[in-house]
Amino acid sequence: MEHALAEIIHESGSILPTILAIISIAIPFIGFLIIGIFGKIAKKRAPLLGTIFIGISMLISFVVLLLTIKAGVPSQELSFTWLQTGNYVLDFGFRVDQLSAVMLVVVTVISFLVHLFSIDYMHGDTGIARYYAELQMFTTAMLGVVTSTNLAQLFFFWELVGLCSYLLIGFWFHKKSAFQAAKKAFFVTKIGDVGLFIGMLIIFVQGDVNGIHTLNLAQLPAAVKSIALVTPALVTIIPLSIFAGAVGKSAQFPLHVWLPNAMEGPTPVSALIHAATMVAAGIFLTARIMDLFVLDLSGTALIVVRLFGAFTAFFAATIATVQDDIKKVLAYSTISQLGYMIMSLGVFHHSHGALIPIGYTPALFHLMNHAFFKANLFLGSGSVIHATHTQNMHEMGGLYKKMPITGLTFVIASLALAGLFPLAGFWSKDAILTSLANTLSDGWVSWVPFILALCAAFLTPYYMTRCVWLTFFGKPRKPNHAHEASWKTTLPLITLAVLSVLIGFVGAPFFGELFQRFVFFHEFEHEVVNWTIIFGSTGIIFAAVFLGLAIYAFGWLKREKLIRAFRPIYVFLKNKWFIDEAWTFIAIKPLFGISKLALWIDVYIIDGIVNGTAWFAGKLGQLIYWFDSSVVDGLVNFMGWITVQFSNLVKWFDENIVDGMVNSLAHTFGFFGKYTRRMQTGFVSNYAAIMFVSIAIALIVVAIFIF
């Protein structure tokens, strides 16, 4: 049935949005090629060029979004067969549905603003052309992820996104910490990607849609159903295995360890990749395969997703409260908010024997809002870091007077993140909490995430208050000459702040739920306004802000005293729940252990065998020596005497006749060798050239003989 449905949707859309989307993907790719190839020549122009390319791409994305809103259905797919072996078919194609259209706009808008912001931020860096080329490549890959029609193609772009992330984290690769962070990000996300790949392979090999093995996203439910007929357990395992990829990419517990380290990259990169877009790719993937999650009617798969998200939301928020580095605070805040989205994706209720993921739309709504205000926060922190040359919040303070625009936009975005009415975060966070509250009758699998989410909702305003106060207010704790940068820095901040205020209204229940009517899962779900949640969460925000101010602004509660009083908790949080240590203990130590064991075996056992053999051989040698010197030598000496006599005879023959022959032969070879030895130049290239020429001649000769 899904198949038929997909066909109908497939037929009904127009092809124009697809073509436009392909163009908007192609433009940054062309930009990447141009900047990448001619970067050395056009070093000065690379920023402007890149910004213009993304600007055009952004405008086209707006058109795509408008067309999709107007049509209300996904556009027609444009694809070709990429690979066909027997009945295993892989397509390569593009399609724009409502979710892709929203993602296209979010990605290009933030990418454009980051490009603009970076002009000043990266000014004077020797690698600026490389920086812009990589940003362009990243944008291409990210747009590819959201418009792919095929899981394999999605995986391809997904890995490309990971590669760009690796390159950009390690942008300042001469710094040891930067390239180590890049490696860590790459390896840790790969752990998740292995799960994604396994899930994909199971579907491709086992799934059977009318006799064809395919990974087309529209056909995946049918494929998984055919697998479920044979092995029912796989219906839970496949989506979770794909979800492992999302856990890695979206930095969920326990694979979140790479994201805080990824802050080694330039700050605009953190804004674009590690706050707004790439980390959202995991959310996007989970939403894309929601069709597979709802096939598991027991709901186990979705509950696992929900618990992972809820725990991550809570645990990252606790860590964010004790970080000193402004970017680390934002990084843990990002992990926490991503956990919120993942949790929301796992919220469902049963209806007529089917699972309705009621958290689907709120999650994607939060994804969009979060992208804007978190990009704003990161760019704001970039502006601050650029001005003060430090990332430690305890060395800042009092910056509001010196940098009013950065300060104001940062405060607005913080309040949006906290979820204050009527800013963006309020609408989506309360939608998530409402959807979760509607399923509380399901027992602990809903209660536990709900409580964790409320805790995170309390911690978020608290750590943002702390961050804002330490950075912008109070007395300057270290002298600096901070001042606002040019319009290229402030314009993105202002734009994002305005969006952080306004974007929430597109999903507000009081304004017609435009977003929910546009992006939904199979059918639109009307959201019932829950006043308890609204007032409760607002109360929580005020309480948290008050607590934060009480500690950091008014000094009613002394920070040192609190640290002393709650020392074990503080140490636990300061060390990030010892997750990095746990990874070291679980994964890295055993690896070194195995290596050491191998070394030990090598040194003691293998070397022992060799040494033992040698000792034995030595003893045997002594025995043989005795035999040799007494028995054999006597014989040999006798034989020697006879031989000497004979030799004298032969000597004459040898000196006169044989030597003459040999010498003349040697002279001949020496004569030739003088010339041929020049071929032995010792250069590999020359040998290779001779080899190629010989083979070519041989082939020509063979060809002549055959034809």
Q: Does 674 bind other proteins (CB under 8 A)?
A: no
Binding other proteins (rule: CB under 8 A), the pick from 587, 681, 694, 701 is: 681
Residue closer to other proteins by CB (options 592, 692) is: 692
Binding-site string for other proteins from residue 518 to residue 557, where x marks contact by CB under 8 A and - marks none: ----------------------------------------
Q: How far is the CB of 676 from other proteins (least distance, A)?
A: 10
Which residues lie closer than 8 Å to 63 by C-beta, 6 or more apart?
A: 20
Q: How far is the CB of 684 from other proteins (least distance, A)?
A: 5
Footprint on residues 56-115 left by other proteins (CB under 8 A) = 85-86
Number of residues that bind other proteins (CB under 8 A): 12
Binding other proteins (rule: CB under 8 A), the pick from 684, 703, 704, 706 is: 684
Residue 122's nearest CA partner among 264, 261, 266, 262 is 266
What distance in Å separates the CA atoms of residue 14 and residue 23, rounded to the nearest whole number? 16
Distance, C-alpha 589 to centroid of its chain = 24
Which residues lie closer than 8 Å to 228 by C-beta, 6 or more apart?
A: 234, 235, 295
> Is the distance from CB of 464 to CB of 386 less than 8 angstroms?
no
Residue closer to other proteins by CB (options 86, 443) is: 86
As beta bridge partners, residue 79 has: 93
Residue closer to other proteins by CB (options 502, 689) is: 689
What's the order of all strands across the beta sheet hosting 88-94? 78-85, 88-94, 213-214
Q: Does 685 bind other proteins (CB under 8 A)?
A: yes
Name the one range near other proteins by CB under 8 A: 254-262, 386-394, 683-691, 697-705.
Answer: 683-691
> Is the distance from CB of 149 to CB of 217 less than 8 angstroms?
yes
Which residues lie closer than 8 Å to 300 by C-beta, 6 or more apart?
A: 236
Q: How far is the CB of 19 from other proteins (least distance, A)?
A: 24
Binding other proteins (rule: CB under 8 A), the pick from 692, 694, 701, 702 is: 692
Q: How far is the CB of 673 from other proteins (least distance, A)?
A: 9
Q: Does 683 bind other proteins (CB under 8 A)?
A: yes
Q: How far is the CB of 268 from other proteins (least distance, A)?
A: 31
Residue closer to other proteins by CB (options 565, 689) is: 689
Cα separations in angstroms, 335 against 242, 319, 398, 480 = 19, 10, 28, 31
Binding other proteins (rule: CB under 8 A), the pick from 126, 622, 648, 680 is: 680
In our burial notation (b when 16+ CB lie closer than 10 A, e otherwise), range 169-199 reads bbbeeeeeebbebbebbbebbebbbebbbbb
What distance in Å separates the CA atoms of residue 188 and residue 278, rounded to the nearest whole number? 15
Residue closer to other proteins by CB (options 688, 702) is: 688
Q: Does 703 bind other proteins (CB under 8 A)?
A: no
Q: Does 661 bind other proteins (CB under 8 A)?
A: no
> Is the distance from CB of 202 to CB of 227 less than 8 angstroms?
yes
Residue closer to other proteins by CB (options 664, 680) is: 680
Name the one range near other proteins by CB under 8 A: 23-31, 63-71, 256-264, 684-692.
Answer: 684-692
Q: How far is the CB of 683 from other proteins (least distance, A)?
A: 6
Rg for the chain, CA atoms, rounded? 34
Name the one range near other proteins by CB under 8 A: 23-31, 546-554, 616-624, 678-686.
Answer: 678-686
Q: How far is the CB of 156 from other proteins (least distance, A)?
A: 16
Question: Scanning the structure block, which residue is given the tokens 């933030």?
Answer: 110
Residue 51's nearest CA partner among 122, 118, 101 is 118
Alpha helices (runs of H) in 514-632, residue ranges in sequence order: 514-518, 531-552, 559-565, 567-574, 579-583, 589-600, 607-627
Q: How far is the CB of 692 from other proteins (least distance, A)?
A: 6
Helix, strand, or coil here: 254? Answer: coil
Binding-site string for other proteins from residue 202 to residue 241, where x marks contact by CB under 8 A and - marks none: ----------------------------------------
Question: Scanning the structure block, which residue is given the tokens 């305005």?
Answer: 498
Residue closer to other proteins by CB (options 5, 696) is: 696
Neighbours of 217 (CB within 10 A): 23
Residue closer to other proteins by CB (options 630, 685) is: 685
Residue closer to other proteins by CB (options 562, 688) is: 688
- Angle between helix 444-472 and helix 404-418 axes, rounded to 10 deg: 170
Q: Does 689 bind other proteins (CB under 8 A)?
A: yes
285: its two tokens: 């993937």
What distance in Å separates the CA atoms of residue 336 and residue 677, rounded to the nearest whole number? 71
Q: How far is the CB of 679 from other proteins (least distance, A)?
A: 9
Residue closer to other proteins by CB (options 441, 680) is: 680
Alpha helices (runs of H) in 207-325, residue ranges in sequence order: 220-230, 234-249, 258-261, 267-271, 278-288, 290-293, 300-320
Residue closer to other proteins by CB (options 671, 683) is: 683
Binding other proteins (rule: CB under 8 A), the pick from 682, 703, 706, 707 is: 682
Q: Does 694 bind other proteins (CB under 8 A)?
A: no
600: its two tokens: 């030990």
Residue closer to other proteins by CB (options 83, 587) is: 83
266: its two tokens: 């330039």
Residue 333's nearest CA partner among 394, 375, 282 is 375
Q: Sign of dihedral through CA atoms 653, 657, 663, 668?
A: negative
Residue closer to other proteins by CB (options 36, 474) is: 36
Name the one range near other proteins by CB under 8 A: 17-25, 337-345, 378-386, 679-687.
Answer: 679-687
Binding other proteins (rule: CB under 8 A), the pick from 124, 677, 703, 705 is: 677
Maximum C-alpha span of the chain: 124
What distance in Å separates the CA atoms of residue 195 and residue 210, rounded to the nearest whole number? 26
Neighbours of 555 (CB within 10 A): 11
Q: How far is the CB of 662 from other proteins (least distance, A)?
A: 23
Residue closer to other proteins by CB (options 543, 688) is: 688
Name the one range near other proteins by CB under 8 A: 229-237, 277-285, 291-299, 673-681.
Answer: 673-681
- Bridge-based pairing of strands 88-94 and 78-85 is antiparallel
Can you give the binding site for other proteins, defined by CB under 8 A?
85-86, 677, 680-685, 688-689, 692
